[in-house]
């Protein structure tokens, strides 16, 4: 197909990294949207040790409370992942029909409202419902935001733009960790029965971003041109004969990366609490000091994991250019496997295991940074980006069916 004259790649040679001021604004919106996306998604894992026992009317710190927290953290995280996938498919379809800008606004508003509603939950099942609502917006935002960025920047700068957007993910969790520590560990340290509700209210912060998207972001020119020339893509196209093998192999790699990422992120705060308990028992600390140490180590564990992830994501840019995409994926997966074994398979002191989470984050997050190095959509197609056989695992610049 010839390049459509309706969509012209702007001249951005004079801007930073070859991007114009407006393109940087779109990247910033995608960066903030994904960061707040993960911020809202992971808030629950930080408040779970207080939230779950309260909603189940169990004594905080009791063996029953710890067991229930482990179970419901896994269950609610699983529900979140299902909703994430459903939201990606649903709002990918919506974005191909009403536009990226409006769909992005709706998804951010949904996940912010869903997270804030968790503050009002009076039973575990209400919490499950509110988390499910938030998960739909969380899943929808990522696919739409990534597509908006991919359609706004020049093809030659999509690797850099994608990696920059991905760096907001670990920083979003660092923000969640910091908010939880300041609220539950400092300001309301003496009232763990209610402090978690105020942490959930912080989930309203993304609404500021939603308003900014409505005010300052223009609709994707590719989407506007595409609605006039060709039908919107559908998930069925992923299973065309020329796409089926790439789709299935990419699906397996993406699922492996996602399960590893969520398996770490969902339980890193609980790991921090567990390691703090071991250390406190060794020092024979009183219960009050143990609770304060648990909040501090919960934050330290998450920050170590996510600061490592930040650097691991950035490393994808030089590694992609040095090794190529396929070898880079192999390196990240092998590195992650070795570091995970060393961190959790060896007999280590609590402080050492805590520090090792930095190395774990570098590998687990690096896989997603490497996903940003994916082959972009055909630039000759001016409409909604369509799938291509060479698309690598874990990424998509097409809205329909994205998750």
Q: What is the pLDDT of residues 310-355, one digit of tens each?
A: 999 888 888 878 887 788 888 999 999 999 999 999 999 999 999 9
- Residue 51 φ then ψ, to 5°: -65, -50
Range of 125-129, 146-150, 210-214, 363-367 with top mean pLDDT: 125-129
Of 109-113, 177-181, 305-309, 389-393, minimum mean pLDDT range: 389-393
Indicate if the alpha-carbon torsion angle 97, 99, 104, 105 is positive or negative.
Answer: negative
* Residue 145 within any structural domain of the chain: yes
| 391 lies in some domain | no
Question: Looking at the predicted structure, is the pLDDT value of residue 363 above 80?
Answer: yes
Query: How confident is the model over 218-277, as pLDDT tens digits?
Result: 998 888 887 766 666 677 888 888 888 888 888 888 788 878 888 888 788 888 888 988
Residue 295 structural domain: 17-371
CATH value at residue 289: 1.20.1250.20
Residue 157 has pLDDT above 60, yes or no: yes
CA–CA separation, 253 and 302 (whole Å): 25
Q: Which has more confidence, 194 or 381?
A: 194
Helices (H), 167-220: 168-180, 192-201, 206-216
Torsion, CA 379, CA 323, CA 170, CA 266, rounded to 10: 110
DSSP string, 317-370: HHHHHHH-HHHHHHHHHHHHHHHHHHHHHS---HHHHHHHHHHHHHHHHHHHHH
Residue 282: what pLDDT? Answer: 86
Q: By percentage, how much of the chain surpasses pLDDT 90?
A: 39
pLDDT-based confidence at residue 137 (cuts at 50, 70, 90): very high
Please say whether the beta carbons of 161 and 24 come within 8 A. no
Average pLDDT taken over every residue of the chain: 83
Determine if the pTM surpasses 0.95. Answer: no
Confidence of residue 397 (pLDDT cuts 50, 70, 90): very low
pLDDT value at residue 196: 96
Distance from C-alpha of 149 to C-alpha of 17, rounded to nearest angstrom: 14
pLDDT at 90 > cutoff 60: yes
Q: What is the DSSP letter of 230?
A: S
Backbone angles phi, psi at 36, to 5 degrees: -70, -30
Domain count, the chain: 1
**Tokens at residue 152, please?**
């706004």
186 vs 198 pLDDT, higher one: 198
Report yes or no on 150 lying in a domain.
Answer: yes
Tell me the percentage of the chain whose pLDDT exceeds 70.
86
Q: Give domain status of residue 161, yes or no.
A: yes
Is 147 within a domain? yes
Phi, psi of 265, rounded to the nearest 5 degrees: -65, -35
In this predicted structure, the answer to whether residue 12 has a pLDDT above a threshold of 60 is no
Distance, CA of 213 to CA of 51 (rounded, Å): 32
- Other C-beta atoms closer than 10 Å to the C-beta of 376 total 22
> Is 174 within a domain?
yes
Q: Is the pLDDT of residue 373 over 70?
A: no
Which bin fits 227, alpha (ψ -120 to 50), beta or left (φ > 0)? alpha
384 with 222: CB under 8 angstroms? yes
Q: Is the pLDDT of residue 377 over 60?
A: no
In this prediction, residues 366-390 reach a mean pLDDT of 50
Query: What CA–CA distance (Å, rounded) separates 252 from 249?
Result: 5
Q: Is residue 3 part of a domain?
A: no
Closest CA to 138 of 237, 14, 40: 40
Does the residue 392 lie in any domain? no
Give the model's confidence band at 288: pLDDT under 50 very low, under 70 low, under 90 confident, else very high. Answer: confident
Q: Which of 278, 269, 276 is nearest to 306 (CA)?
A: 269
**Are 398 and 234 a contacting pair, CB within 8 Å?**
no
């Amino acid at each position: 197909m010839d390049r459509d004259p309706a969509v012209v790649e702007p001249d951005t040679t004079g801007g930073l990294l070859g991007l114009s001021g407006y393109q940087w604004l779109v990247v910033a919106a995608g960066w903030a949207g994904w960061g707040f996306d993960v911020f809202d998604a992971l808030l629950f894992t930080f408040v779970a040790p207080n939230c779950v026992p309260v909603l189940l009317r169990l004594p905080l710190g009791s063996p029953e409370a710890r067991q229930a927290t482990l179970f419901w953290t896994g269950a609610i995280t699983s529900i979140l992942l299902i909703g994430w996938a459903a939201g990606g498919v649903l709002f990918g379809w919506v974005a191909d029909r009403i536009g990226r800008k409006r769909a992005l606004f709706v998804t951010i508003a949904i996940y912010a409202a869903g997270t804030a509603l968790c503050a009002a939950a009076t039973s575990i099942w209400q919490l499950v419902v509110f988390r499910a609502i938030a998960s739909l917006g969380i899943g929808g935002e990522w696919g739409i935001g990534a597509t908006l960025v991919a359609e706004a920047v020049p093809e030659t700068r999509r690797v850099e733009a994608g990696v920059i957007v991905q760096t907001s993910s670990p920083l979003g969790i660092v923000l969640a960790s910091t908010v939880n520590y300041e609220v539950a560990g400092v300001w309301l340290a003496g009232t763990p029965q209610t402090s978690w509700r105020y942490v959930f209210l912080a989930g309203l912060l993304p609404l500021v971003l939603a308003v900014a998207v409505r005010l300052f972001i223009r609709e994707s020119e590719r989407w506007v041109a595409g609605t006039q020339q060709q039908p919107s893509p559908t998930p069925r196209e992923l299973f065309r004969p020329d796409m089926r093998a790439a789709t299935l192999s990419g699906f397996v790699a993406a699922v492996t990366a996602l399960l590893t990422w969520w398996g770490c992120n969902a339980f890193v705060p609980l790991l921090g609490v567990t390691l703090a308990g071991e250390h406190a028992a060794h020092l024979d600390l009183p219960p009050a000091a143990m609770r304060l140490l648990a909040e501090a180590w919960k934050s330290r564990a998450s920050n170590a994991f996510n600061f490592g992830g930040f650097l691991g994501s950035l490393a994808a840019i030089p590694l992609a250019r040095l090794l190529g995409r396929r070898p880079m994926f192999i390196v990240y997966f092998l590195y992650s496997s070795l570091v995970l074994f060393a961190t959790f398979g060896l007999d280590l002191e609590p402080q050492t295991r805590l520090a090792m989470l930095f190395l774990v984050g570098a590998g687990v997050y690096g896989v997603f940074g490497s996903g940003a190095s994916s082959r972009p959509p055909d630039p000759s197609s001016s409409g909604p980006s369509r799938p291509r056989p060479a698309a690598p695992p874990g990424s998509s610049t097409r809205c329909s069916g994205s998750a």
